[in-house]
Amino acid sequence: MKLIVGLGNPGADYERTRHNVGWWVVEAFARKFRIAIDTHEKAAMTGSGRVAGGAVMVAKPLTFMNLSGDSVRLLVNAYLDSTDDLMVVYDDIDLPLGKLRIRPNGSAGTHNGMRSIVGTLGTERFPRLRVGVGAPDRGKLRDFVLDEFAADEQPVIDRAVVRAVDALVLFARGDLRRAMNEFNKDPEEPAPPAPTTSDAV
């Protein structure tokens, strides 16, 4: 089984904030494969289904961000033999808006949710998918990540969520390397439309 965990904060006040992008990706993935996230267990909402021929569970921890590890540890202990089958999806202020970065392991960086997970699991060896949410020009970081995206930012993050779902499909297939190769690079810009006869000079 593969376990895909999206990080976020519970409650309507946080639903559309930058810090909840991990939840957005997991919810979009679940919709694509008609997985109902309707089971309350291990301090999370979970749903299970089959993707690319394999069993997949998606989860949204209901602990607040700083305690994400409490839920993730319970889920991992209950369902996985190896943390290699865990994918954590979360927001990252150190990446440009909409940029994806997939890694098989690594440090928690500045993200409190990841710090909690690394601390409770006792290892940095698990895949993660980071979604760039931009960085504040000034002011407090906490205020920035708990704010909503600006109107001109929303289309960028919406496209990133779609790409993140596609990357998770490859992870579900057991092809993390391909996911990294395809989605760690910037998406190709659409080609300009070919000139029509009326455009010719």
Whole-angstrom distance, CA of residue 37 vs CA of residue 30: 7
Whole-angstrom distance, CA of residue 82 vs CA of residue 174: 13
Domain ranges of the chain: 2-199
Mark out the alpha helices in 33-153 (DSSP H runs). 68-79, 112-121, 141-145
85-125 pLDDT, tens digit each: 999 999 999 999 999 999 999 999 889 999 999 999 999 99
Given the residues 18, 19, 73, 111, the one annotated as active site: 19
Per CATH, which fold does 2-199 belong to? Rossmann fold (3.40.50)
Query: Where are the strands (E) in the chain, listed by range?
Result: 2-6, 39-41, 44-51, 54-61, 86-92, 100-103, 128-132
Q: What pLDDT, on the 0 to 100 scale, is given for residue 170?
A: 97
Grade residue 191 by pLDDT with cuts at 50, 70 and 90.
very low
Task: Give the whole-number percent of the chain exceeding pLDDT 90.
Answer: 82
Grade residue 195 by pLDDT with cuts at 50, 70 and 90.
low
Please state, rounded to an integer, the average pLDDT across all residues of the chain. Answer: 92
The SS3 assignment for 83 reads helix
| Between residues 196 and 60, the one the model is more confident about | 60
Annotation says 111 is catalytic: no
